[in-house]
Structure 1
Amino acid sequence: MYDETTLRAAPLTEAVEQSRRLVVRTMRAWNMTVGEEPVTAVVAELVANAVTHAATPFELRLVRGEGHVRVEVRDRDHRLPVLRSPHPLSDGGRGIFLVDCYARAWGAEPAPDGGKVVWAEIDVTSQAAVAS
């Protein structure tokens, strides 16, 4: 079973909160609230990166897989993210590091028509699986 939802937004800081709310609504509709917090954290980081670094309109796509959610953020910037180990006292540089911590897999690739897609797959459990 594969369901998906998409959000297209301008590169505004409000888009991060809008994306978080979309994750909560979608995860609840999919009966996948166990695992909602890591998905929300990954979405917030990837959308914040698109807003801050790409500064272009972006598209967020959530796809429900069997036991996981795939998050994709597509923007018009061709620069791919780089995983760094953040300094404990630095104010930033933790976005992709956090994605790497939460996701079972993640990556980035150039989009066929320009820009890039950054994706992550996060393991989740449905409420039905927890109840059994």
Structure 2
Amino acid sequence: MTDRVSPEDERIFAFRQLPAGPTAAGEAREWSAKVLACWDLAALADDLQTVVTELVTNSLRAGAGAIHALIEWRWNATALELQVWDDAPGRPQLRQPDFVAETGRGLFIVAALSAAWGHRSAADGGKVVWARFATPAAR
């Protein structure tokens, strides 16, 4: 786990490079729970772990060869942001699953559990999918 603090804006973040394989989602869940516990934000763990699982799984299904996760929190803000970068082609699309579909609900779950979510192209290629979560009032 890599944590860095930026004193000018009281920003703290944790970064994790994940394997592009079957253990990636589990590693992301475990890592994110540890990060939130260290930051005294364990109350967000269930929702954030579910969202990071969905985003990492989407990266794998899209054929990512590289996946990185970042959690960023500004101590004076009331939101925490999760970002998942991958090098897979395409962009995430919110689909309307039919009643019997076995897949296609992941981004609905992300939208339901986060305060906001979206995606953007990354400067170095690939894409970043992000989700924001409300945190307790500024400390």
Give the TM-score category using the shorter length.
Answer: 0.7 to 0.9
What is the CA–CA distance in structure 2 between the aligned matches of 1:34 and 1:100, rounded to whole Å? 18
* Consecutive unaligned residues in structure 2, runs of 5 or more: 1-9
> Which aligned runs of 4 or more in structure 1 are off by greater than 4 angstroms?
none
2:35 matched to 1:14?
no
2:105 is equivalent to residue 90 of structure 1: no
* Match in the other structure for 1:99: 110
**Higher helix share goes to which structure?**
1
Count of residue pairs brought into register by the alignment:
128
Aligned to 2:66: 57
TM normalised by structure 1 equals 0.88
> 2-side partners of 1:13 and 1:67: how far apart?
33
User: What whole-Å deviation, never above 9, does each CA across 1:2-22 have from its counterpart, x for those lacking one?
Assistant: 211111122111010000001
- Alignment root-mean-square deviation, CA: 1.8
1:69-124: CA deviation from partner (whole Å, max 9, x where unpaired): 21111111231100122223211111111111111111111111211111110123
Q: 1:1-132 to 2 correspondence within 5 Å?
A: 1-65=10-74, 66-125=77-136
Q: Using a 3 Å threshold, how does the CA distance of structure 1 residues 77 and 55 change in structure 2: closer, same or farther?
A: closer
**What is the distance in 2 between the residues matched to 1:35 and 1:14?**
22
In structure 1, runs of 5+ residues without a counterpart are none
Cα shift readout 1:35-79 (whole Å, capped 9, x = no counterpart) = 211111111100111112133211101112323221111111231
Name the aligned partner's letter for residue 99 of structure 1: V
Asked if structure 2 preserves the Cα contact closer than 8 Å seen for 1:73 and 1:117, the reply is yes
- Given that 1:108 and 1:117 are in contact with CA atoms closer than 8 Å, whether structure 2 keeps it comes out as yes
Distance in 2 (CA, whole Å) between partners of 1:100 and 1:3 is: 24
Q: 2:4: which partner in 1?
A: none
TM-score norm. by structure 2 comes to 0.84
Q: What is the identity, as a one-letter code, of the residue corresponding to 1:28?
A: A
Report if aligned partners of 1:78, 1:114 keep a CA contact under 8 Å in 2.
no
Aligned residue for 2:117, secondary structure, equals: strand
